[in-house]
Structure 1
Amino acid sequence: MVTNESHSHEKSIPPSRVLVGAEECIRIVFPTQSRPHKRTFLEWKARRLIPFYKIGRRIFFDPEEVRTALDRHFRITDK
């Protein structure tokens, strides 16, 4: 017999990463006034400037990792 009871020792572990598509990642990472075009964002992916995850045929991004990578690659310094 199969039941749908949950055991008290089993806990839901929240995912450590939030994976989203390219357009949603652009919306999360960039403010409205300075968003790059999707084509530019995918070019950065192709050049391996931003991390991504390929699951099957689909490509996903972790917005926190993307923001960190962009800060590292596109740093503006004072003169």
Structure 2
Amino acid sequence: MQQLALVSLDDLKVLISEKAIPNEVWDSQQAAQYLKITLPTLFKETKSGNIPGVQVGNKWKYSSIALYCLVAKRDSNEV
């Protein structure tokens, strides 16, 4: 069974950007480093739903593409 994901044109443009990034699963340290925030801030923002993440056991995991989209969206809103 195939799953389809509906994405907006803006999200698609981000994914097909010239700066393509691999789809990786990052741990909390990698995510915090990429977002340039502290680990406590990362956990607080993840738990409040502002940063996409999945809790696996007692650890949080993050999609590199989801974080890239989050940063791209945040950057486009600052313009």
TM-score between the two structures when normalised by the length of structure 1: 0.54
Q: Kindly, what percent of the aligned residue pairs are identical? A: 7
* Structure 2 counterparts to residues 1-79 of structure 1, below 5 A: 17-27=23-33, 29-30=34-35, 35-73=36-74, 75-77=77-79
For the residue of structure 1 that corresponds to 2:78, the secondary structure is coil
Q: State the structure with more CA Rg.
A: 1
Query: Which 5+ residue runs of structure 1 have no aligned equivalent?
Result: 1-15
3-state secondary structure, aligned to 2:44: helix
Match of 1:9 in 2: none
- Go from structure 1 to structure 2 and tell me whether the alpha carbon gap of 1:57 and 1:37 turns closer, same or farther (over 3 Å shift): closer
Instruction: Specify every segment of 5 or more residues in structure 2 that has no aligned partner in the other structure, as ranges.
Output: 1-21
Displacement after TM superposition at 1:45 (Å): 0.4
Runs of at least 4 residues off by over 6 Å: none
Say if 1:70 and 1:42 are closer, same or farther in 2 by CA, change over 3 A: farther
Shift of the alpha carbon at 1:51? 1.0
How high is the TM-score relative to the length of structure 2? 0.54
In terms of fraction of residues, the more strand-rich structure is 2
1 or 2, which has the higher helix percentage? 2
Count the aligned residue pairs: 57
